[in-house]
Amino acid sequence: MCVMRMKENPLLVCADVKPSRPDFTVVGVFNCGGVRTEEGVTLVCRVAEMCSDRGDGVIRIPHVETGGTIGAMEFNRSDPRYDFTDPRAIVERDGRRVAALSSMSSLRRAFAPDGVHFVCDDTPLFPLDPRSEEWGAEDPRITRLEDGQYAMTYSSVSRNGVGVSLALSDDLVTWNRQGMILPPANKDTVIFPKKIDGTWWMLHRPILDGLGASDIWIASSSDLVHWGGHQHLAGCRTGQPWEMRKIGAGAHPMEVDAGWLVLYHGVDEKEHYRVGALLLDKQDPRSVLARTPQPIFQPEEPYERNGFFSNTVFPCAAWIEGDEVVTYYGGADSCVCGARLSLSDIMDSLVYGRRAL
């Protein structure tokens, strides 16, 4: 499998991003949606911030208060009620409920005429919504729709769970928020670029525990806001250790001769994130034609193996240029990276037939 990482990787790191307040520290710029236009590449990045460490053993995490002001939640590191071992969240030992995320993310635009030398805006695209984004907005994915609009899905996180919100734009600068389109617990939502059989389609990933698994689902809509016809599409394969824990769509489906090609992430028992591909039927995307048995892209470089959440490659943007899939992805929940994957190698890695699915 031919994967050419951009030689300038990582393309954006924490030091390239200005904290949104002087008392905040940027702890990650990663998982970005993106599109190429005639002017260059626009990314919308997830920027994670914490309150700067005062060295007093207290973790302070920004959150949005009712009314929209930003406050801080405080946790003493020595408090026995909490488990601090997952760098992403503070978990109550009793009951395993997530008490807080360890950082608060918001979405920022970055632009590079050459697709490599990105400059990130100093302020978020829009303020977080106090009701649904008290703990942040994460993992944007952008699709250029056939009617010329840009549709961005992203995770809205609050104490009530993580759901999926939608924003629309004509110019990638001004975004009109449409609110939450999928209630908790759901994430990893990507919209197809065009209507198929007269309707819009999207992939999404409910988060299930106990009955069912965190698999990829498909749904349809006439207006992009109200979604129905939900159907299970592809599951974690217990016989494939690299994706036995959960899977989720990465970037929006890409149209190829043989169907719709979807990059997705797979998570193993050690919580390492790798990338595989699915091929869906062109006329009926509810039908999976083929899938890659092995990952096509996995953490190898130091900026993918070590970081805020190590051993993670997490693509949220991808498109086809000639015989290449260009992807922008998060490395170890810390930085923005880019890579070019051979399209023909991906197509050759797909295995067709029921046993492969």
Interacting residue with ligand MAN among 193, 276, 330, 338 (CB under 6 A): 330
> In which residue are the tokens 């260009």 written?
326
Where does this chain touch ligand MAN (CB under 6 A) — which range of 173-181, 203-211, 232-240, 308-316? 308-316
What is the identity of the amino acid at 174?
T
Cβ closest to ligand MAN, residue 62 vs residue 259: 62
Residues 22-51 that bind ligand MAN (CB under 6 A): 31
- The answer to whether the beta carbons of residues 220 and 245 sit under 8 Å apart is no
Please report the beta strands in 130-245, taking only residues with DSSP state E, as ranges in sequence order. Answer: 136-144, 150-158, 161-169, 176-182, 186-191, 200-206, 216-221, 228-234
Q: Find, among 117, 149, 119, 124, the residue nearest to 138 by Cα.
A: 124
Where does this chain touch ligand MAN (CB under 6 A) — which range of 76-84, 214-222, 292-300, 306-314? 306-314
Q: Which residues contact 38 (CB under 8 A, 6 or more apart)?
A: none
Structure tokens at 52: 């700067």
CA distances for 214 relative to 75, 91, 167, 188, angstroms: 30, 20, 25, 11
Residue 199 CB, nearest approach to ligand MAN (Å): 28
- The answer to whether the beta carbons of residues 110 and 45 sit under 8 Å apart is yes
Q: How far apart are the first and last CA of the chain?
A: 20
Interacting residue with ligand MAN among 312, 327, 334, 349 (CB under 6 A): 312
As a whole number of angstroms, the distance between CA 150 and CA 175 comes to 9
Residue 197 CB, nearest approach to ligand MAN (Å): 31
Q: Which residue is nearest to ligand MAN (CB)?
A: 309
Cβ closest to ligand MAN, residue 167 vs residue 343: 167
Interacting residue with ligand MAN among 49, 133, 134, 138 (CB under 6 A): 138
Residues 251-290 that bind ligand MAN (CB under 6 A): 273
Residues 99-128 that bind ligand MAN (CB under 6 A): none
Interacting residue with ligand MAN among 49, 133, 304, 333 (CB under 6 A): 333
Cβ closest to ligand MAN, residue 26 vs residue 343: 26
Where does this chain touch ligand MAN (CB under 6 A) — which range of 1-9, 74-82, 169-177, 309-317? 309-317
Binders of ligand MAN: how many residues, by CB under 6 A? 10
DSSP string across 69-119: -EEEEEEETT-TTEE--STTEEEETTT--EEEESSEEEEEEEEETTSSS-E
Interacting residue with ligand MAN among 217, 314, 319, 329 (CB under 6 A): 314
Residues in a beta bridge with 203: 190, 218
- The answer to whether the beta carbons of residues 259 and 244 sit under 8 Å apart is no
Structure tokens at 69: 């002001």
Residue 46 CB, nearest approach to ligand MAN (Å): 7
Q: Does 88 bind ligand MAN (CB under 6 A)?
A: yes
As a whole number of angstroms, the distance between CA 248 and CA 350 comes to 18
Interacting residue with ligand MAN among 139, 243, 268, 324 (CB under 6 A): 139
Cβ closest to ligand MAN, residue 175 vs residue 273: 273
Residues 217-256 that bind ligand MAN (CB under 6 A): none
As a whole number of angstroms, the distance between CA 215 and CA 217 comes to 6
State the chain's maximal CA–CA distance in angstroms. Answer: 59
- Residue 154, phi then psi, degrees to nearest 5: -160, 160
Cβ closest to ligand MAN, residue 244 vs residue 347: 244
Cβ closest to ligand MAN, residue 139 vs residue 324: 139
- The answer to whether the beta carbons of residues 337 and 31 sit under 8 Å apart is no
Residue 31 CB, nearest approach to ligand MAN (Å): 5
Binding residues (CB under 6 A) for ligand MAN: these are 31, 88, 138-139, 273, 309, 312, 314, 330, 333
